Amino acid sequence: MKLHHLTLSLLLLGIFSHETGLSADSGGIAATTADTAAGQPVDNPFPESIAKGKVRLRLQAVTSGLVAPNWGTALANDPDHLYVGDQNGALWRIDLVTGEKEVFLDLSSRLVSLGLSGADSYDERGFLGFAFHPQFAENGLLYTYTSEPADQSSDFSTIPAGSSPNHRSVIRELQLALASPIQSPAVILSERIVFTVDQPQFNHNGGALNFGPDNMLYIAFGDGGGADDRDGQEFIGGPMIGHGPNGNGQNPANPLGSLLRIDPSGNNSGNGKYGIPSDNPFVGSGTTLAETYAYGFRNPFRFSFDSQTGTLIVADVGQNKIEEVDIVQAGGNYGWGVKEGSFRFDPNGGDAGFITDGTVAGNFIDPVIQYDHDEGTAIIGGFMYRGKTISGLQDRYLFGDVAKTGKGDGRIFYSDGTSILELDLTDRDQPGFWVLGFGQDTDGELYALGNTTGMPFGTTGTVYKLIPNASFDSGFLDIPAVSVALDENTRKVYRARLQVVPNSDPLRLEVISAEELAERLRDDQFTYDQTTGQLILPFVDTSGGSSQVSTYAATLERIPDLPQLTFELKQVTLVK
C-alpha cells in the first residue's frame, strides 16, 4: 500500500518533483535502465539546511479575496494590470495601482467538480494555466489548460479498454474581442479545443503553458497521477491504471510526463488542429510523440522562460524525497520514474518508492538545484528576476515550496544555480500562507500567490508583491521607490540615490540622482512631503560589509536654502 504518501499528496498540493536526464534518442525505459545498480536507500540526501540569504524583502498585499491563485502574467499593452489564474476557474485582472480586481474570464462551468472529498477538500485539478498569444494585441488569442469531465474521447489516452479516466486535460484557444482600453470582462468571439489528454488520476496534472521566445506554445503534463508512476499500486481504494508497468515518465510515446511544443496556428497534427514544428527533437521518430520537446518529468507544475536569455526553467515536483529545478534542453530526458532528482528511484513494487545511492545507466540531465523534504514538500516554480528594483535578486531564480510541513508554512527561495537560499522577510519569519504560484509583471517585478487553506475553496487567496527595502552602503542611500507629495493634490513616485555629505554631523545626505517611476511601482510606506520637508524611510538595510543584515527605520528632514536637495538624519530605530 502507498497511502502514507497519498496523505502528503492530498494535503500538500501533490505537485511533487522529479529528476533530470538527457537522451534525444531514447525510445523509452529500455534505453535508460540497462546496467542499473540498485544501491542502498538514502534517508537524508542533503543534511545541511537551507539558510536565509542576505536579500531582505517585504511582501506587500496587492489584492485579496481570491480562491487559490496559481499563476500571474501581464500584457505588454496593459502594464498597469496583472492577470492571475485561480484554480476555481476565474482569470482575474488586477489593477496594480489601486489593487482593485475583476473577473476577466470565468471558466468555472467547464471544470470538473473540485474537491476530492467534496467541498472544502483538497484537489489538484482545475484551471491550471493560461498564456496570451505573443500577438494578443492584434489577434486576441488566449490559451488555457483546464481539468474537465471525461465525457467524450480524447486525442491522447493511456487508459486501458474497459476503464475510465478520472478527468481529461483540455487545451483550448479563445479569441477575445479587442478593445482599447482592454475590455473586462472579456468577450469571447470564438473558441476551439486544440487537443485533449485523458488523466488516469486526479493529481500530477502539470498545467503550465507558455509561449517561448520562438513563438511556439510549450505545455507541461505530469505523469498522470497516483504515486510512483506504475500501474497496479493501490491508490484511493483501487489499483492504479494508465501508467503501464514502466510508467509514463519514461514513455515519451504519450504526452504524460512530458513537455510538449506545438504551433497552435498549424494543422499537421494528428487531429489537424495545431502544428508540429519541424525542428521538434523527435520529429520522424517511430517511438516518441513528435510533439514532445523533453520528457522524464513527474509533475512540472510551473515553468517559465528567462525573459533575457530565453532559458527554459522547469520546477518539477518530487515523489517522497526530492524537489528539483531543471534547465530544459530539446530532447532531454529528466529521469522520472527511474530517477528522482539526481538519485536512482526504486518504485518498490506495491509499497512506497524511495531513492537510493545506486546508479542508472543512460543519458539523463540532472537538476541544476535540488532539495529534500526536510525543507519542503512540493516545489513551486517561479521566474528569473529581471526587474530593476531588487538588485540582490538580479540573475537569480526565485521559486518556492507550497508548505514545509503541510500546515500552511510555505517558503520562498532564490538561487544563482549553484546553491539555494531562503528569502529573508523583513516583517515576518515565513510567508505565513500556502505558496501556490508566482507572477511577473511587465516591469519584471515578481509576485507571490497563495492562500491560507491549501484548498481550491474559500476567499483567502492573496496576491503579494515582492518589495525591496532601501539600502545604505559605503556612504550611499538607495531608495527603490518613494511617494512624493508635491502638494495636496499631486503625488509622484521616484527612485532616488543619496550620498553622505562628508564630515557632516549630524549626518546629512544629498540627492545625487532621481528617476520618476510609474505609479504602479510606488511603495506607500516610503514618503516625502515637500511641504513639511519630512522624508520617512521605515525600512533601510545595511550590512556594513558583513553577512549580517540589519534593518532600521529612519526619519530625515530637508535642509532649506541649499542648492542641492539635502536631508539631515533626525531619528533612527532598529527594526530587525
Q: Which helix (H) or strand (E) holds 498?
A: strand 491-500
Query: In the 8-state DSSP scheme, what is residue 156?
Result: B
Check residue 421 and give its pLDDT: 98
Count each helix (H run) and each strand (E run) in the chain, helices first. Answer: 2, 37
Q: Which helix (H) or strand (E) holds 4?
A: helix 3-11
**Alpha-carbon distances, residue 521 vs 99, 446, 465, 494 (angstroms):** 12, 12, 10, 9
How far is residue 466 CA from its own chain's centroid? 14
Check residue 35 and give its pLDDT: 52
Over the chain (576 residues), what is each successive 10-residue block's mean pLDDT? 33 34 32 63 97 97 98 97 98 98 98 97 98 98 98 97 98 96 95 98 98 98 98 94 97 97 98 98 96 98 98 98 98 98 95 96 96 98 97 97 96 97 97 98 98 98 98 97 92 97 97 97 96 97 85 98 97 97
Specify which residues 553 forms β-bridges with.
573
Alpha carbon distance 365, 57 (integer Å): 33
**Alpha-carbon distances, residue 307 vs 521, 545, 546 (angstroms):** 20, 31, 32
Check residue 10 and give its pLDDT: 38
**92: Cβ–Cβ under 8 A, 6 or more apart, which residues?**
63, 66, 69, 83, 84, 85, 86, 101, 102, 103, 104
Does residue 390 contact residue 468 with C-beta atoms inside 8 Å? Answer: yes
Does residue 551 contact residue 540 with C-beta atoms inside 8 Å? Answer: yes
Q: How many CB atoms lie within 10 A of CB 132?
A: 21
Q: How many CB atoms lie within 10 A of CB 453?
A: 18
Three-state secondary-structure class, residue 347: coil
Backbone phi, psi, residue 399, to 5°: -155, -175
Q: Which helix (H) or strand (E) holds 141?
A: strand 141-148
Q: How many CB atoms lie within 10 A of CB 169?
A: 28
- C-alpha dihedral over 168, 293, 71, 76, to 10 degrees? -120
Check residue 36 and give its pLDDT: 64
Nearest to 320 by CA among 350, 344, 340: 340
Check residue 26 and give its pLDDT: 33
Backbone phi, psi, residue 391, to 5°: -60, -35
Query: Residue 234: exposed, middle, or buried by beta-carbon count in 10 A (0-12, 13-18, 19+)?
Result: middle
Alpha carbon distance 377, 410 (integer Å): 9
C-alpha cell at 342: 539526481
Check residue 20 and give its pLDDT: 31
Q: Which helix (H) or strand (E) holds 401?
A: strand 397-401
Three-state secondary-structure class, residue 207: coil
Q: What angle do CA 288, 293, 295 make, to 5 degrees?
A: 70
Alpha carbon distance 426, 473 (integer Å): 18
Alpha carbon distance 251, 253 (integer Å): 5
How far is residue 101 CA from its own chain's centroid? 21
**Alpha-carbon distances, residue 90 vs 132, 365, 410 (angstroms):** 15, 36, 23
Does residue 436 contact residue 412 with C-beta atoms inside 8 Å? Answer: no
Check residue 16 and give its pLDDT: 31
How far is residue 253 CA from its own chain's centroid? 27
Specify which residues 479 forms β-bridges with.
496
Check residue 7 and give its pLDDT: 34
The full set of domains in the chain, from first to last, is: 3-468 (2.120.10.30), 470-574 (no CATH)
C-alpha cell at 73: 502574467
Q: Please identify which residue in the block is written with the cell numbers 491522447.
A: 156
Three-state secondary-structure class, residue 315: strand
